[in-house]
Amino acid sequence: MTSLAARLPSILVANRGEIALRVFRTARRLGMRCIAVYSDADADAPFVRFADEAHRIGPAPARESYLRGDAILDVAKATGAACIHPGYGFLSENADFAEACQAAGIIFVGPPASAIRAMGLKDAAKALAEQARVPVVPGYHGARQEPDFLESEAARIGYPVLIKAVAGGGGKGMKRVDAAADFADALESAQREARNAFGDPRVLVEKYVLAPRHVEIQVFGDSHGNVVHLFERDCSLQRRHQKVIEEAPAPGMSPEVRAAMGRAAVEAAKAVGYVGAGTVEFIADGRDGLRADRFYFMEMNTRLQVEHPVTETITGLDLVELQLRVAAGEALPFAQEDLTITGHAVEARLYAEDPEQGFLPSTGKLWALSLPEAEGIRVDAGVEEGGAVTPFYDPMIAKIIARGDTRLEALDRLAAALGETLVAGPKTNARFLKKLCEAEGFRNGPFDTGFIERHAEALGAAAQPLDRAAVAAGAMMLLDEQARNLPRSGPAHDPWAVNDGFALSPQPAVPVAVTADGEPLLLRVRHDAAGTAVELGDVAPNAERDLTLVMADEGVIVLSDGRQTWVRLVDPLAVDPDAGDGTAGSQIKAPMHGKLIALFVKPGDRVEKGQRLAIVEAMKMEHVLTAPRDGVVIDAAGEPGMQVAQGARLISIGDAA
Ligand code: ADP
Ligand code: ADP
Ligand code: MG
């Protein structure tokens, strides 16, 4: 057999992050040359370094980089790429791009453009599934869009109903309506969302399935007419119609229902001449468990799915390798009856988001990152310590996949792995995910797509009080640090100064101002023969807790049981961190007469808000000057050792080009 690399000597991945790395790993193992494309935001990303060569395609926003099919194709042509893997998201379900690749003589690692197109819109896909005798959710998916008409259809279907954008994806443009009185408003908002997100306001209306379980089937086709399925994944743990945890096999799945669902998925794939990896998503009415007559086609995703590692884990297959072999024209190396399920797999999506603040995305530098390593644990990550989660793309940090002989063993391993996951900087959902894996109702009960919403509070997805012990510990560390770096004869507000002269009597507590997660607080610091104690309200000084402290710019990040608290000492002399947010640029001035000790930046450097720029020593204290905002250094005057006058302009920061 000729090697795959002889036919596909090189691959360009038109994507970023964990999926780019994941595709490259397989490609490299198979002996292919790996070509990366990247935006300015990813110039130092791990996938760029991993590749054999990497080419810039544009600025950070996806529309100007990863969605620029033309720029990506130019790189592919210039580098002689044999094929392009689109990953997921971005251009992966863009039929025009798939066509443009083929026209340029470059293999698109995905289905034919015609199959992408056929499944691209939810209404057409449903019509197609019906024709292929695949059960679809009852509803209206015709062309008419008048509000009155759609409302009468909703009444006919029977509430609750779900309004969906026909061009939808990512849960956008989707509204559940429980009563006729709410229909008109919901329709308007769904259409608005759909127009904004997809440039297409059209919707369909379908029955909202009760006790819904999301069960999808992984299918695979080759160019010789073979289509098989690689069993199911249960993705019922969702938030806002988006997957949070995925697993296989589906709890309570019988061989009969699996065979029926698998058959339906293969029929749907065959109906569009499918080639490569795809997923047929079904919604099941789970009121009486999974039944062969209670599942309905929702849509087909014509690409590799985020959660494909779950299937790889239970089948022992490498889906990317299969994609590449099929793309090169090989026949699938197995028939349906050759495939078996071994054990159980569960995947959790680790996101940079804050469950305590409505899951708001949380960006910024990863001051510390430690991902779990253990038996039965696979981690697919795209970032590393010192890197950053930027606001430009999906804030996924990693996927953590656990394998077990049984479902509970896999869940236990995943919970333990999430407990060992340490992220300092952006807030994450690690603790929330761990609680999900431990939740009794998910482990043993029947559950559906409403589980997370019903148990949000118990899962910690609600505002929590400030962790005062963490604040006290963080403040102690910062004061310690300051004491080590500062001359002993500091000014009176230095709490360590009171140690000078060896006090015999107990010292009074000294107030110290800090911010904890941005909230200003006053601590009391006591220092005597027994040591130092920080008091904050009724929190016992030096409370014994399992804390991890990570130094970050201007402060410390205190991690405790998966929560993080950012503590900073308030320096009354530092520049106001919010003062320079205007577009005109920001000037960093010497806070007082003194000596420039260090200058960390030069003109042209990119800086992030909070980054250290310079140190000025004055009154025998060092003052760290930090960037008031993100930007580029326009000028940075002076040399270490020189005297600076109060108010002298030292550095100015402007907008990035
Ligand atoms: P799945 O069903 O496998 O989770 P989704 O349809 O939710 O797939 O999309 C896969 C991932 O790609 C998601 O994390 C989503 O945020 C991301 N994504 C989808 N479209 C885009 C896009 N146009 N730009 C950037 N990221 C995208
Ligand atoms: P997207 O393109 O955003 O992935 P889907 O049609 O796949 O849109 O639906 C997303 C999620 O919404 C599903 O995973 C499911 O949980 C829920 N959902 C979709 N259709 C229905 C329905 N008819 N009844 C109940 N829940 C549904
Ligand atoms: Mg979907």
Is 150's pLDDT higher than 70?
Answer: yes
Would you state the pLDDT for residue 178?
Answer: 97
Write out the two tokens for 568: 């900073």
- Residues 146-171: b if buried by 16+ CB within 10 A, e if exposed: eeeebbebbeebeeebbbbbbbbbee
Q: How confident is the model at residue 561 (pLDDT cuts 50, 70, 90)?
A: confident
Q: From the CB of 394, is ligand 1 less than 6 Å away?
A: yes
- Look at 533 and 23; give whichever has higher pLDDT: 23
What type of residue sits at position 61? P
Cα–chain-centroid distance for residue 472? 31
**How far is 552 from 386, CA to CA, in rounded Å?**
11
What type of residue sits at position 382? G
Which residue's CA is the nearest one to ligand 2's atom 2?
169
Compute the C-alpha angle 132/134/138, nearest 5°. 120
**How far is 623 from 627, CA to CA, in rounded Å?**
13
What type of residue sits at position 347? E
Is 576's pLDDT higher than 70?
Answer: no
What type of residue sits at position 360? L
**How far is 139 from 150, CA to CA, in rounded Å?**
10
Is 620's pLDDT higher than 70?
Answer: no
278 Cα: distance to centroid of ligand 1 (angstroms): 15
Which atom of ligand 2 sits closest to the CA of residue 243?
Answer: 14
315 Cα: distance to centroid of ligand 3 (angstroms): 23
Which atom of ligand 2 sits closest to the CA of residue 139?
Answer: 23
Which atom of ligand 1 sits closest to the CA of residue 281?
Answer: 2
Which residue's CA is the nearest one to ligand 2's atom 23?
208
Provide the residues around ligand 3 (an ion) whose CB is within 5 A. 281
**How far is 499 from 530, CA to CA, in rounded Å?**
12
CATH class of the domain at 4-109: alpha beta
Q: SS3 for 482-511, per residue?
A: HHHHCCCCCCCCCHHHHHCCCCCCCCCCEE
Which residue's CA is the nearest one to ligand 2's atom 12?
241
- Give one DSSP letter per residue of 114-140, joined into a string: HHHHHHHSHHHHHHHHHHTT--B-SEE
44 Cα: distance to centroid of ligand 3 (angstroms): 32
Percent of the chain with pLDDT over 90: 72
Would you state the pLDDT for residue 503?
Answer: 44
Write out the two tokens for 319: 């889906």
Please state the rounded mean pLDDT for residues 348-362: 94
Which residue's CA is the nearest one to ligand 1's atom 4?
306
622 secondary structure, DSSP code: E
Q: From the CB of 262, is ligand 1 less than 6 Å away?
A: no
Write out the two tokens for 115: 């199959």
Is 311's pLDDT higher than 80?
Answer: yes
Q: Which ligand ends up closest to the CA of 14?
A: 1
User: 114-119: long-range contacts at Cβ-Cβ below 8 A with a sequence spacing of 24 or more?
Assistant: 114/272, 114/273, 115/272, 115/273, 115/274, 115/275, 115/278, 115/302, 116/302, 118/272, 119/272, 119/299, 119/300, 119/301, 119/302
Task: Examine the residue annotation and report whether 202 is marked as an active-site residue of this protein.
Answer: no
299 Cα: distance to centroid of ligand 3 (angstroms): 6
Please state the rounded mean pLDDT for residues 592-602: 82
Q: How confident is the model at residue 580 (pLDDT cuts 50, 70, 90)?
A: very low
Digit-coded pLDDT (tens) for 456-481 = 999 999 998 899 889 999 999 998 88
Burial class (CB in 10 A: 0-12, 13-18, 19+), 98: buried
**How far is 331 from 322, CA to CA, in rounded Å?**
10
- CA proximity to 204, closest of 138, 158, 130: 138
**What does DSSP say about strands 242-248 and 344-351: parallel, antiparallel, or unpaired?**
antiparallel
Which residue's CA is the nearest one to ligand 2's atom 16?
241
Q: From the CB of 216, is ligand 1 less than 6 Å away?
A: no
Is 391's pLDDT higher than 80?
Answer: yes
272 secondary structure, DSSP code: T
- Look at 498 and 20; give whichever has higher pLDDT: 20
Is 398's pLDDT higher than 50?
Answer: yes
Q: From the CB of 62, is ligand 1 less than 6 Å away?
A: yes
Which atom of ligand 2 sits closest to the CA of residue 168?
Answer: 2
**How far is 624 from 393, CA to CA, in rounded Å?**
32
Please state the rounded mean pLDDT for residues 528-535: 76
Q: Which residue has the tokens 């620029």?
A: 68
Q: How confident is the model at residue 655 (pLDDT cuts 50, 70, 90)?
A: confident
- Look at 91 and 609; give whichever has higher pLDDT: 91
**How far is 530 from 373, CA to CA, in rounded Å?**
40
Q: From the CB of 426, is ligand 1 less than 6 Å away?
A: no
Would you state the pLDDT for residue 489?
Answer: 45
Which residue's CA is the nearest one to ligand 1's atom 17?
89
Q: Which residues line ligand 2 (CB under 6 A)?
A: 137, 162, 164, 168-171, 206-209, 212, 214, 238, 241, 281, 283, 298-299, 449
Would you state the pLDDT for residue 510?
Answer: 83
Q: From the CB of 59, is ligand 1 less than 6 Å away?
A: no
Is 101's pLDDT higher than 80?
Answer: yes
Which atom of ligand 1 sits closest to the CA of residue 243?
Answer: 4
Cα–chain-centroid distance for residue 11? 25
Which residue's CA is the nearest one to ligand 1's atom 16?
394
Please state the rounded mean pLDDT for residues 527-544: 70
**Least confident window among 29-33, 205-209, 405-409, 611-615:** 611-615
Would you state the pLDDT for residue 500?
Answer: 45
67 Cα: distance to centroid of ligand 2 (angstroms): 25
Domain limits, the chain? 4-109, 111-121+210-341, 138-207, 343-464, 468-569, 585-654
- Sequence length of the chain is 657
Would you state the pLDDT for residue 537?
Answer: 73
Superfamily designation of domain 111-121+210-341 = ATP-grasp fold, B domain (3.30.470.20)
- Alpha carbons within 13 A on the beta-carbon side of 336: 14
Instruction: Judge: domain 585-654, CATH 3.10.20.30.
Output: no
170 Cα: distance to centroid of ligand 1 (angstroms): 6
For the chain, the C-alpha Rg in angstroms (whole number) is: 28
**How far is 190 from 203, CA to CA, in rounded Å?**
8
Digit-coded pLDDT (tens) for 488-531 = 544 444 444 444 444 445 567 788 889 998 888 888 888 777 77
**Least confident window among 181-185, 305-309, 403-407, 604-608:** 604-608
Q: Where in 253-318 does DSSP place strands (E)? A: 276-285, 295-301
Q: How confident is the model at residue 86 (pLDDT cuts 50, 70, 90)?
A: very high
Fold (topology level) of 138-207: Dna Ligase; domain 1 (3.30.1490)
Please state the rounded mean pLDDT for residues 198-227: 97
Would you state the pLDDT for residue 508?
Answer: 72
Please state the rounded mean pLDDT for residues 392-421: 97
- Domain 111-121+210-341 and domain 343-464, same fold? Reply is yes
**Least confident window among 316-320, 393-397, 400-404, 575-579:** 575-579
185 Cα: distance to centroid of ligand 3 (angstroms): 24
Q: How confident is the model at residue 581 (pLDDT cuts 50, 70, 90)?
A: very low
Please state the rounded mean pLDDT for residues 205-231: 98
Torsion from C-alpha of 143, 149, 151, 153, nearest 10 degrees: -70
Would you state the pLDDT for residue 527?
Answer: 77
Q: How confident is the model at residue 592 (pLDDT cuts 50, 70, 90)?
A: low
**CATH architecture of the domain with range 468-569:** 2-Layer Sandwich (3.30)
Is 321's pLDDT higher than 90?
Answer: yes
* Helix (H/G/I), strand (E/B), else coil: 522: strand
Would you state the pLDDT for residue 303?
Answer: 98
Is residue 590 a contact partner of residue 650, using CB atoms and an 8 Å limit? yes
**How far is 237 from 438, CA to CA, in rounded Å?**
13
Please state the rounded mean pLDDT for residues 393-406: 97
What type of residue sits at position 125? A
Would you state the pLDDT for residue 63?
Answer: 96
- Work out the mean pLDDT of the chain and round it to a whole number: 91
Would you state the pLDDT for residue 641?
Answer: 81
Q: From the CB of 306, is ligand 1 less than 6 Å away?
A: yes
Omega within 30 of 0 (cis) for the link into 361? no
Which atom of ligand 1 sits closest to the CA of residue 303?
Answer: 3
Instruction: Judge: domain 343-464, CATH 1.20.1250.20.
Output: no
- Of 22, 68, 202, 303, which residue is the catalytic one? 303
Please state the rounded mean pLDDT for residues 603-630: 80
37 Cα: distance to centroid of ligand 1 (angstroms): 18
Which of 174, 213, 237, 297 has most ligand 2 atoms within 8 Å of CB, for mutation? 174
Q: SS3 for 1-56, per residue?
A: CCCHHHHCCEEEECCCHHHHHHHHHHHHHCCCEEEEEEEHHHCCCHHHHHCCEEEE
Q: How confident is the model at residue 369 (pLDDT cuts 50, 70, 90)?
A: very high
Would you state the pLDDT for residue 618?
Answer: 65
**Helices 183-198 + 147-157 axis angle, to 10:** 120
